[in-house]
Structure 1
């Protein structure tokens, strides 16, 4: 039992190490030391839809230079779409690179009384992996493959407001205006041969308030999976301090009172959108702390 639990820890360690390596390589490429001369240059901020420009300025996105950002969150989720089903608590740690679509998400939760669950979702080097275990050692569910790769690419995009640096245009991310909707913009993310997109909505203050996509793949109750609309909402924007866990000092190039902090949403929730249009809220999170690595 201890050996099986240890194998899960070792797997997480390898994935996190590979995530940091991929992030470092992406940072070197962005600085020009490994640039792809054949790739189209990223959009300039001036080429973006005005609502995106305003948000990036409010969030001071250009001043952030994090390689890997880790957020600790307290969450609740439902196993069933039934409105009467109880909420279950979970503790979540998300480590993500804002410069390349790569992340590792791990959680601990209670499935039923006396039955604990530990699991992780990761997308590293363009490959997605899902692994859940009862009590942290007994295999319960695992998955990989093209559809999971796509879904986890969408997940990275939905998590991007948690580090505004990730919302900047890049070789992977471009922005498009939504005709007739000045407060909306479509983000198009391409990586590892996969392209996904979704529409971000910005509120009257210019802050990101929601994300909606048709590229999320949902598991079906009777088995199988299908793409369905997926909606994420963001609230509670505030400036949060970032603990520096790097060996070389500050993980940010911000100056003055903004050094070592990010302006991010602290509450988010996700809904499955059924064919009838009904929104089924199934998970919600509250940010506890941020740290750089």
Structure 2
């Protein structure tokens, strides 16, 4: 009887060990740590890129409003955009609110994702969360106004993508609040991350564009603004981050080491591409903030 129990226990132990070790000898625990470190790598990259984006928004747009010099927004005219319209008080106000709101989201949103901030400073987490929610809702509605009412040009594919993005912001805002009210912390965390991603879709859009241009130029692929990538990325700028987050959550719960490692590699590659975009976008923004002609 004792021998039977010992044999059974030994078999169960072997099966359990096999379940936590891949065919290549990589344990689930090691794969899980790799996934966590990759997520930290992504987070730090986003933080650095977004905080510089915040600096750009405050310096270029914020101070132009304070100094009543909003005409400077039309430095973007060389890129086909004229954000400032003479005599359009409501439109200019909506654009200013939209851009400065994006800066607030870029600066404050990352704090909501740091577990230690949530645990050690719950009051700050709650207040910052309220500010964040109100700001992203403002972004959604001001975005609707700028696309569907202010812009007199025909609706384009990018406008549809922006509108879908705005709708996702409102949906995820509701789900984030609802899960918090229900004290469903696990769901609240996921919806908050989804909200963070769609709220920063326009930042991902710009970083993705520069990543495509820099990478394509480096590989001698001659990227151009007429490429199919651009209309597709109008939707990809929020769909790809959402799908990546979904994959990350799945890998977190999965006990298969190979799934965790594959997700880590995917996230690492996407983060590297994002960093390429950040490095390409940063000097461009510096040229926008300077008094020199914008070069691209």
Q: TM-score, normalised by structure 2?
A: 0.25
Larger radius of gyration: 2
Give the structure-1-normalised TM-score: 0.25
Q: Looking at both structures, which has the greater relative contact order when contacts are Cα pairs under 8 Å and sequence separation is at least 6?
A: 2
The structure with the largest strand share of the pair is 1
Looking at secondary structure, tell me which structure has more helix per residue.
2
